[in-house]
Amino acid sequence: MPPAIETVDLVKEYGELRALQELSLTVEEGEFFGLLGPNGAGKTTFINTLVGLVRKTGGEARVFGYDVEDDYQQARDAIGVAPQEFNVDRFFPIREVLEHKAGYHGVPADEAADRADEVLKRVGIYDKRNERFDWLSGGMKRRLLLARALVTDPDLLILDEPTAGVDVQLRHDLWELVTELNEEGTTILLTTHYIEEAERLCDRVAIMNEGRKVTVATPDELKGRGTDTIAVGLES
Ligand code: ATP
């Protein structure tokens, strides 16, 4: 089985700015992998490259062996992503938003409705199913982003700072849910600014800074190394 994510010398330039600099990373199937780094390290750019939102400038990127550009649809169908920003359709009840998403990725209409209900229950906002995105609180919006990522039953779940700015209760609910999902076999890539979060959840962690990989280690190895390497990734 190919790795869930494999990048080799991945480069992304925005004009003069090199947001990803020869980034080579492998995330094995079934892993819970953390991507840690300060603002501007390139974490979101890395995710956007995997899901086809930005075109890479150089190097290779594959998801379960599928090239993210040449085999876009196969790679994209394997991924559920909960982005940082709230980019959800505001004009439909959230249950319909989820049905549309499932339908777009090939889930038959009758199954899509059941699947939407299932994930809304799983993230704890089933009672809000007829409301629109704008009417939800910030915490519920985070839950909805996760539900949308799960509605296609992805093999790879990507979470971009899912706990930034959320209250303690929701943070713990999210931790519990993503741990369960990983135990059920879903590969997870999570970006975070919080080293404690990465240590608590992840099998391995990559620390990034200025588009480069600083290190890849298990949480125990990171603790053993003291603060210097970690500080590089967390100086902001
Ligand atoms: P944060 O923790 O703040 O979300 P990040 O690690 O996700 O940061 P990115 O958002 O990937 O970092 O940004 C990496 C670099 O690329 C930054 O210097 C950013 O300003 C730049 N950048 C990102 N998107 C664009 C864009 N569309 N055009 C130009 N520059 C961009």
| Bridge partners, 216 (sequence order) | 206
Q: For position 223, what pLDDT does the model report?
A: 79
Q: Which tens digits make up the pLDDT trace of 171-190?
A: 999 999 999 999 999 999 99
Q: Percentage of residues in the chain with pLDDT exceeding 70? A: 95
Q: For position 235, what pLDDT does the model report?
A: 44
Give the nearest ligand 1 atom to 45 CA.
Answer: 11
Distance in angstroms (rounded) separating the CA atoms of residues 10 and 61: 7
Q: For position 106, what pLDDT does the model report?
A: 85
Q: List ligand 1's pocket residues with C-beta within 6 A.
A: 14, 17, 19, 37, 39-45
| Residue identifier of the C-alpha nearest atom 26 of ligand 1 | 14
HSE, CB side, 13 Å, CA atoms: give it for residue 73. 3
Instruction: Quickly state the pLDDT bin for 226 (edges 50, 70, 90).
Output: low
225 has a pLDDT exceeding 80: no
Whether ipTM exceeds 0.90: yes
CA of 21 to the centre of ligand 1 (A): 13
| Residue identifier of the C-alpha nearest atom 16 of ligand 1 | 19
Find the mean pLDDT for residues 134-147: 93
132 has a pLDDT exceeding 60: yes
236 has a pLDDT exceeding 90: no
Q: What size, in residues, is the chain?
A: 236
Say which residue, 79 or 223, is predicted with more confidence: 79
Q: Which tens digits make up the pLDDT trace of 31-55?
A: 999 999 999 999 999 999 999 999 9
Find the mean pLDDT for residues 194-204: 92
Find the mean pLDDT for residues 192-216: 93
Query: Can you point out the beta strands (E) in 15-140?
Result: 17-27, 32-36, 58-63, 66-67, 79-82
| Bridge partners, 63 (sequence order) | 5, 66
Q: For position 86, what pLDDT does the model report?
A: 86
Q: For position 9, what pLDDT does the model report?
A: 98
Q: For position 115, what pLDDT does the model report?
A: 95
Find the mean pLDDT for residues 72-93: 91
For residue 117, give every residue at least 6 positions away whose Cβ sits within 8 Å of its Cβ, in sequence order, or none. 95, 126, 129
CA of 44 to the centre of ligand 1 (A): 7
2 has a pLDDT exceeding 60: yes
CA of 27 to the centre of ligand 1 (A): 22
**The pTM is what?**
0.93
If one residue of 45, 49, 81, 210 were mutated to test the ligand 1 pocket, choosing by the most ligand atoms within 8 A of its CB, it would be 45
| Residue identifier of the C-alpha nearest atom 29 of ligand 1 | 14
Q: Which tens digits make up the pLDDT trace of 87-121?
A: 888 889 999 999 999 998 888 988 999 999 999 99
The whole-chain average pLDDT of the chain stands at: 92
61 has a pLDDT exceeding 80: yes
Find the mean pLDDT for residues 121-133: 95
Q: For position 17, what pLDDT does the model report?
A: 96
Apex 147 CA angle, 46 and 102, nearest 5: 90
